[in-house]
């Protein structure tokens, strides 16, 4: 009987001790700044050993944990810790595509482009056949940062890895266009038009529609840019604007006068040297502004 009583007393003492320890841990946890909780993620080297060969499992576990806490970090330190967390995850499982994508999504919330592209470049290097990661990085550069040179780099990588996907050619063509490389963009749209002229799928019709209108607009943009450059060279050499655009041909600055896609001549104001198109562009928006 006395053994039972002694056992119950021991259990009671342990329970009180555990309760007290739990309260102390809760107090410490509550006092610890939320933004430093990323320190709970050890280094990749430690995790690799501690995982006992189950690296993918621990990568999944840390990934699930990170989704719960990504928005609780203080804004001044959040991105550094986010990158650390997703760096560890992708060290444990370099092919974890979702980790790169979610990590970039979280980093984009603070527009921390340097860290975002650092994580993206790691994924692209670690997965040489994966085109999605390059395309994903390109969309941030194109749509959010407006860095069309960087977007073009990533879209080109995606296209090289998945050349049969016309959607990627569409992205490349747009990146060229917004960079001002109209000739390269025009070449892509012309190829897309030829490829999808007889494609009756929804995607095929969309790409054909987009290609035809971009070809229309880019032809005008290229003509105007070439004519503007010819007028500028004429004025520099002759000291005044040409009286007519035909004078550019006569003086050898251009081979022939272009017409817009509807066969109309470009309008020219000799007093100002300004050249305009009397045919409206097919697209509207920033790119379509004269």
**Within a domain: residue 2?**
no
**Within a domain: residue 25?**
no
91 and 180 part of one domain: no
**Within a domain: residue 11?**
no
Q: For 63-72, 169-178, 199-208, which range has the lowest pLDDT when averaged over its residues?
A: 63-72
Dihedrals φ, ψ of 266, to 5°?
A: -80, 145
More confident residue, 52 or 265: 265
40 and 132 part of one domain: yes
More confident residue, 21 or 228: 228
Contact 267, 223 (CB under 8 A): no
The predicted-structure confidence for 86-119, as pLDDT tens digits, reads as follows 999 999 999 999 999 999 998 898 899 999 999 9
Q: 181: closest CA among 154, 210, 149?
A: 149
Q: Beta-carbon neighbour count of residue 54 at 10 Å?
A: 12
289 and 177 part of one domain: yes
Question: What's the pLDDT band for 82 if we cut at 50, 70, 90?
Answer: confident
Please report the DSSP string for 152-220 in residue order.
HHHHHHHHHHSTT-HHHHHHHHHHHHHHT-HHHHHHHHHHHHHHHTT--SHHHHHHHHHHHHHHHHHHH
User: How many angstroms from the chain centroid is the CA of residue 17?
Assistant: 54
Q: Beta-carbon neighbour count of residue 118 at 10 Å?
A: 13
168 and 110 part of one domain: no
User: How many angstroms from the chain centroid is the CA of residue 146?
Assistant: 9
**Within a domain: residue 198?**
yes
pLDDT of 179 reads 95
120 and 169 part of one domain: no
**Within a domain: residue 26?**
no
Dihedrals φ, ψ of 259, to 5°?
A: -115, 155
More confident residue, 282 or 23: 282
Structure-block tokens of residue 75 = 């804004």
More confident residue, 286 or 91: 91
pLDDT of 32 reads 47
| Among candidate residues 105, 137, 157, the one where a domain is terminated | 157
pLDDT of 167 reads 95
Dihedrals φ, ψ of 268, to 5°?
A: -135, 135
187 and 272 part of one domain: yes
268 and 181 part of one domain: yes
pLDDT of 290 reads 32
217 and 143 part of one domain: no
**Within a domain: residue 23?**
no
What is the domain count for the chain? 2
Q: Is the pLDDT of residue 281 over 90?
A: no
- Cα 120 to Cα 3: distance, rounded to the nearest angstrom: 64
- Cα 204 to Cα 247: distance, rounded to the nearest angstrom: 44
Question: What's the pLDDT band for 53 if we cut at 50, 70, 90?
Answer: confident
Dihedrals φ, ψ of 200, to 5°?
A: -95, 10
Q: Is the pLDDT of residue 142 over 70?
A: yes
Q: Beta-carbon neighbour count of residue 32 at 10 Å?
A: 11
| Among candidate residues 110, 131, 157, the one where a domain is terminated | 157
64 and 138 part of one domain: yes
**Within a domain: residue 4?**
no
Question: What's the pLDDT band for 52 if we cut at 50, 70, 90?
Answer: confident
Q: Which domain holds residue 287?
A: 164-290
Site of tokens 């810790």: 81
Q: Is the pLDDT of residue 253 over 80?
A: yes
112 and 95 part of one domain: yes
Question: What's the pLDDT band for 81 if we cut at 50, 70, 90?
Answer: confident
For the question of whether the overall pTM of this predicted structure is more than 0.85, the answer is no
With vertex at residue 101, the alpha carbon angle to CA 97 and CA 107, rounded to the nearest 5 degrees, is 145
The crossing angle, in degrees rounded to 10, of helices 166-179 and 148-161 is 160
Mean pLDDT of 68-86: 73
State the average pLDDT for the chain.
86
**Within a domain: residue 8?**
no
CATH number at residue 124: 1.25.40
Q: Is the pLDDT of residue 62 over 80?
A: yes
Cβ within 8 Å of residue 275, ≥6 positions away: 224, 227, 228, 231, 245, 266, 267, 268, 269
| Among candidate residues 142, 157, 172, the one where a domain is terminated | 157
Mean pLDDT of 59-66: 88
Q: Is the pLDDT of residue 187 over 80?
A: yes
């Amino acid at each position: 009987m006395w053994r039972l009583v002694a056992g119950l007393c021991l259990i009671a003492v342990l329970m009180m001790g555990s309760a007290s320890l739990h309260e102390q841990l809760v107090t410490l946890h509550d006092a610890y700044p939320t933004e430093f909780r990323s320190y709970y993620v050890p280094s990749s080297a430690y995790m690799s050993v501690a995982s006992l060969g189950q690296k993918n499992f621990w990568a999944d576990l840390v990934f699930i944990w990170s989704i719960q806490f990504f928005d609780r970090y203080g804004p001044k330190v959040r991105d550094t810790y986010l990158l650390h967390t997703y760096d560890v995850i992708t060290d444990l499982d370099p092919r974890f595509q979702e980790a790169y994508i979610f990590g970039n999504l979280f980093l984009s919330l603070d527009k921390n482009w340097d860290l975002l592209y650092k994580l993206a470049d790691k994924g692209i290097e670690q997965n040489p056949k994966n085109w999605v990661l390059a395309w994903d990085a390109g969309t941030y550069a194109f749509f959010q940062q407006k860095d069309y040179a960087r977007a073009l780099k990533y879209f080109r990588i995606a296209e090289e890895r998945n050349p049969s996907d016309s959607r990627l050619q569409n992205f490349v063509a747009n990146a060229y266009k917004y960079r001002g490389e109209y000739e390269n963009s025009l070449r892509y749209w012309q190829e897309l038009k030829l490829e999808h002229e007889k494609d009756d799928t929804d995607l095929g019709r969309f790409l054909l529609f987009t290609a035809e209108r971009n070809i229309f607009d880019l032809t005008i943009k290229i003509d105007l840019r070439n004519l503007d450059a010819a007028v500028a060279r004429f004025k520099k050499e002759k000291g005044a604007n040409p009286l007519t655009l035909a004078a550019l041909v006569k003086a050898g600055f251009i081979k022939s006068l272009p017409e817009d896609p509807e066969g109309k001549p470009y309008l020219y104001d000799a007093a100002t040297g300004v050249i305009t198109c009397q045919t409206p562009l097919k697209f509207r928006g920033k790119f379509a502004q004269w």
